[in-house]
Amino acid sequence: MTCDVETRTIDVDGLYRRFGPMVLRRCRRLLGDEEAAADAMQETFVRVLRNSQSLRDDYPSSLLYRIATNVSLNAMRSSRRRPVSSAGDAMETFAGRDNVEAAALDRTLVDQIFNGVKESTRQAARIHYEECATLEETAQRVGMSISGVRKRLDSLRRQSLLRAAR
């Protein structure tokens, strides 16, 4: 006795045309960045394409919404682990600049990064990024715990990324 199971493949092109804007809106809402949202939307449809033989298209909007949400959340987790650009990256490039104009621009950028930041955070960032001190050395010099320094520097990175995105 054999059971004939109807195998249907999902029309990914049709889904993309019909639900692409919805997926992009979802990714945009979660990520808050146009480029990251476009990448997440593309990854959503790539996953559908890769798994088109095993996926069912009974409720395609729900399926795509769930996949887009998962892809976006994974992208957010990844960016927290390895930020693309941060205050630390910017400060590391400042060391050793001889050009007066570049130095003036650097000071302006640093002022923007540190705008509204606690003095202890500012001091920790300078020690850690400009002097290349370890987290432990930085913590000792500013009188904080290592986890406190790490949290402050992570917060500074997130704030600088948000300001850069604006």
Q: What is the pLDDT of residues 4-36, one digit of tens each?
A: 445 556 777 888 888 889 999 999 888 888 888
The per-residue pLDDT for range 96-120, each reduced to its tens digit, is 445 566 666 656 666 667 777 788 8
Residue span(s) of the chain under CATH 1.10.10 come to 87-165
Q: What is the pTM of this model?
A: 0.46
d(CA 88, CA 65): 35
What is the rounded average pLDDT for all residues in the chain?
76
As a CATH number, domain 12-81 is: 1.10.1740
Q: Could you tell me where the DSSP H helices lie in 32-59?
A: 34-50
87-165: in CATH 3.40.630: no
Residue span(s) of the chain under CATH 1.10.1740 come to 12-81
pLDDT score of 64 more than 80:
yes
Query: In sequence order, which residues have a C-beta less than 8 Å from that of residue 99 and are 6 or more positions away?
Result: none
Q: Which residue has the higher pLDDT, 65 or 98?
A: 65
Query: In sequence order, which residues have a C-beta less than 8 Å from that of residue 94 and are 6 or more positions away?
Result: 106, 110, 130
**145 pLDDT band (50/70/90 cuts)?**
very high
d(CA 8, CA 52): 9
